[in-house]
Amino acid sequence: MLDAPLLAAAIATHLALAAALTAFAALTLLWSLHTQASPERVARSRFDRTLRACTRSFSLLVPARHEEGVLADTLDLLAAQTHPRFEVIVIVGHDDRATARIAEAAAARHPDHVRVVVDRGRVKTKPRALNRGLAVATGSVIGVFDAEDDVHERLLERVDARFAETGADVVQGGVQLMNHARSWWRVRNVVEYALWFGSRLHAHAAAGVVPLAGNTVFVRRRVLERIGGWQDDCLAEDCELGIRLSAAGARIDVVTDPTYSTREETPPDLRGLFRQRVRWNQGFLQVLRGGAWKGLPSWRRRTLARVVLGMPFAQVLIGMSVPVAVVETLAVRLPVPVTLVTLAPVAPSALMLVVECLALDQFGRAFGRRVRPGDHVRLVLGAIPFQVVLSVAAVVAVWREVRGDHSWQKTVHTGLHRRQRRGAPTPGRAPA
């Protein structure tokens, strides 16, 4: 048994940590419910179906590295946009001839819309490729897509109208992973995206602190050039750009309309998901250390930025709270009521499971996918293992950052979301 001063210190630390973790878990729950809190928010999160004249021009940047298996379909879908003024700029590495051949073939099929830019830099990263594309872009709005994206053919028309309606500097569109079936971690990954784009990004936009997503994001070119484009060495270039734009006072609008959401695939295996999250988490650390968030105009926004950027690492502590409570009960012999406080984060986490099950059903209805009872079982039973994966990824990200290892861990794309359509509406042909 600890002596009185040490016991008091242990209890105080214990209660403070439990309160912080409960607040993190509750905040995540509130963000996930933000859009659904009112019919007005749901309506604002959708595109207006009113037809408008297209007044902007678009340059769509597609960085592609070792993407020969998925790139051709993506470029064909982008080239099929019904907007009258757009170009598709594919950025390929000089050492990646397989992908370059796919891009060049697409440019030959669509000479009025697709062109290829070769990145001859020694270091190859997504933000470096984007900056290479920005340097030659001609559109008044810069859009970003990934090499495996399935894009609705009328998306640019709707985005053009959204800029006119809102006066925004940035329009962030929706992205949805599609292949949820037969895997506990895939169904959780799919629901995670549904809640992130369907609600959490809207909550961040309302608060004025937006970690942008990696694609289906559109930025007025003059605004993007004014802040210097993307940060070349950041592993979460989308988040970093969003924080800098937020600090610069840019107006960021988020729209999540299932009809026009870009469709993607989960990583091909659990190892790929882990590597992806290590990169994202390390990128968040880079943004936190970089300090661009300090330029946000209020203490409230700066605090929110710290919370958003630190959230992946709070997940580690939330996941450890239950086993720590058990160990303390058996070894340190803290008072039972104090130990039980450690379980406080479990309450909002349990409510979050309910929200996730509802979000899974909503995903199935919105995207025409069959959701089976087994999918719900996998979603619930996979909650703790998924948390473990995220927690370990956060620890590895910290270790890599401490060591100064900023090597790019690229996500592999196989087109699984396309092979598993099974009669679902073709993304480029969904009803307008």
Say if 85 falls within a structural domain.
no
Say if 348 falls within a structural domain.
yes
For residue range 75-98, list pLDDT tens digits in order. 999 999 999 999 999 999 999 999
Among the residue ranges 8-12, 211-215, 356-360, 427-431, the one predicted with the least confidence is 427-431
- Residue-wise burial string across 93-108, b where 16 or more C-beta atoms lie within 10 A, e elsewhere: beebeebbebbbebbe
Say if 247 falls within a structural domain.
yes
Domain that holds residue 22: 1-56+140-427
Say if 308 falls within a structural domain.
yes
Q: How far apart are CA 200 and CA 338, in angstroms?
A: 32
Quote the number of domains for the chain: 1
Say if 92 falls within a structural domain.
no
177 forms beta bridges with: 264
Say if 80 falls within a structural domain.
no
Q: How far apart are CA 241 and CA 262, in angstroms?
A: 20
Where does the pLDDT of residue 5 fall: very low under 50, low under 70, confident under 90, or very high at 90 and above?
confident
3-class state of residue 154 by DSSP: coil
Mean per-residue pLDDT over the chain, rounded: 89
Say if 415 falls within a structural domain.
yes
Give me the pLDDT at residue 427, please: 45
In this structure, the strands spanning 170-172 and 217-220 are antiparallel
Say if 97 falls within a structural domain.
no
Burial class (CB in 10 A: 0-12, 13-18, 19+), 420: middle
Residue of 108, 124, 114 whose CA lies nearest to 74: 114
For residue range 229-261, list pLDDT tens digits in order. 999 999 999 999 999 999 999 999 999 999 999
Give me the pLDDT at residue 191, please: 98
